[in-house]
Amino acid sequence: MVGVAGFEPATPASRTQCSTGLSHTPTWNAAYSLGCRSPQAAGLRKLITVNVGLKTQILPAGEAAVAVAARILAEGGLVAFPTETVYGLGADATNPAAVARIYQAKGRPAFNPLIAHVGDIAAAQAIARFDAAATALAEAFWPGPLTLVLPKTHACAVADLATAGLDTVAIRIPAHPVAREILRAFGGPVVAPSANISGHVSPTTAAHVQSDLAGRIELIVDGGPVAVGVESTVVGCFDAPMLLRPGGVPRAEIERVLGRALVQPPADAGTDSVQPLAPGMLTSHYAPRARVRLNTQRLEPGEALLAFGLGAISGIDAASIVMNLSERGDLAEAAANLFGHLRALDSKGVRTIAVMPIPNDGLGEAINDRLRRAAVGRE
Ligand code: TXA
Ligand code: MG
């Protein structure tokens, strides 16, 4: 912690309420009481706020980084690490104070439940109950970019704060070797939302994490760019399995394993006014600062173009900048580039990002879902 001359660390009386409603001793933006000793100055005694940045270590993925990550997690710290979908911001799932720090670091709405990442099916079964459909999906897609929402077991050790008090828990076994090593070394469930400021574009490189969360978390493990690029598909294993969030496993593949169509969530679940079934469904989410205009056929002068394929588009000569999600029209490549390209265009300070139409099949459903959320309130 950075000290300030003449100031003393806050007493417990200056503990504050974080967005989750939990009392905590802040580790940054910490309140310091003014240590005035003279009688005249005593009347000036007051609380002021200073920025106390954590030092965020960035380590290249490897044995040493995995060991440091496991130790920080065990101590209640926050570690960003690569998964195959996006970078996650991990904390010990069983430690409510560590979980609270995730919400605090991300500035995340308190009602957003988190995904518990585990290393193997036995660890998953210790925290959630699997029916036949869940077992079939786990066998087909784990490790991989699928999250299952399941009833908690009685012994479920995941903190209530991480499941937002629900009697269900979201679980996934990630495929990324670095994520798997960290889970193995730590030896317990790790809750991890995407490692970005809440509502911002999800991170697909360590540099993205750094630009959002440096000074707010203990460690970033740099495992290079991720392979999938959109978050996991979230399936609620209710009486009828429900697609809560399209993602890295296309709907059709899941339906093939289930032998039935996935049910759609109720129409009002995607608004901010009700507690969402999967708050990744918040209407505005994944948002860059720029306005996002979808299904563009014609570019206005000065707009940035987020292209897909090599199809013609009128007005392209007057584009301020053009980035292509996939020149060869490959949806997997487009998914991997999506958040990075949105961030890159946003960092140029463009006012509008116009996006070419993207087919809705396969990974296109997840890409279009994220783009619609990026566009909300800005169209
Ligand atoms: O690919 C991913 O899923 C990434 C990586 C890091 O694993 N994680 C991620 O987490 O995207 P997050 O927190 O951004 O999204 C979790 C989603 C949200 O839509 C949340 O509402 C939903 O899962 N979710 C979690 N627990 C739930 C529950 N018990 N019931 C319904 N939805 C739940
Ligand atoms: Mg997220």
323 in the same domain as 184: no
Give 179's pLDDT tier (boundaries 50, 70, 90).
Answer: very high
Q: CB of 89 closer than 6 A to ligand 1? A: no
Can you give the CATH number for the domain in which 305 is found?
A: 3.40.50.11030
- Among 147, 230, 235, 283, residue to substitute to test ligand 1 (most atoms within 8 Å of Cβ): 147
pLDDT number for residue 111: 61
What's the whole-number mean pLDDT along residues 113-122?
A: 97
Residue 214 belongs to some domain of the structure: yes
Q: What percent of the chain has pLDDT over 90?
A: 68
Residue 2 belongs to some domain of the structure: no
pLDDT per residue over 346-361, tens digit each? 989 999 999 999 999 9
Q: Which atom of ligand 1 is nearest to the CA of 172?
A: 7
Q: How far is CA 145 from the centre of its chain?
A: 13
61 in the same domain as 205: yes
33 in the same domain as 118: no
Task: List all residues 6 or more positions away from 61 whose beta carbon is below 8 Å from its beta carbon.
Answer: 82, 178, 221, 222, 223, 224
114 in the same domain as 34: no
Residue 206 belongs to some domain of the structure: yes
pLDDT number for residue 280: 52
How would you label 69-95 residue by residue, b for 16+ Cβ within 10 Å and e otherwise? bbebbeebbbbbbbbbbbbbbbbbbbb
- Among 234, 238, 274, residue to substitute to test ligand 1 (most atoms within 8 Å of Cβ): 234
The answer to whether the predicted template modeling score (pTM) of the entire model surpasses 0.75 is: yes
Residue 1 belongs to some domain of the structure: no
pLDDT at 64 over 70: yes
Give 166's pLDDT tier (boundaries 50, 70, 90).
Answer: confident
Which residues are in the CB-under-5-Å shell of ion ligand 2?
A: 194
171 in the same domain as 34: no
274 in the same domain as 307: no
336 in the same domain as 251: no
Domain boundary among 246, 281, 316: 281
Domain boundary among 281, 305, 335: 281
Cα–ligand 2 centroid distance for 114 (angstroms): 9
Where do we find the tokens 């994520």?
A: 179
Residue 165: CB atoms within 10 Å: 10
270 in the same domain as 368: no
Residue 358 belongs to some domain of the structure: yes
| Residue 325 structural domain | 291-375
70 in the same domain as 167: yes
Residue 286 belongs to some domain of the structure: no
76 in the same domain as 132: yes
Residue 240 belongs to some domain of the structure: yes
295 in the same domain as 275: no
151 in the same domain as 61: yes
Can you give the CATH number for the domain in which 201 is found?
A: 3.90.870.10
Domain boundary among 256, 281, 306: 281
Cβ atoms of 297 and 314 within 8 Å: the answer is yes
Q: CB of 147 closer than 6 A to ligand 1? A: yes
Task: List all residues 6 or more positions away from 182 whose beta carbon is below 8 Å from its beta carbon.
Answer: 66, 69, 70, 73, 79, 81, 90, 190, 221
What's the whole-number mean pLDDT along residues 38-59?
A: 53
Q: How many domains does the chain have?
A: 3
pLDDT per residue over 184-198, tens digit each? 999 999 999 999 998
Residue 22 belongs to some domain of the structure: yes
Token output for 361: 């099949």
pLDDT number for residue 138: 98
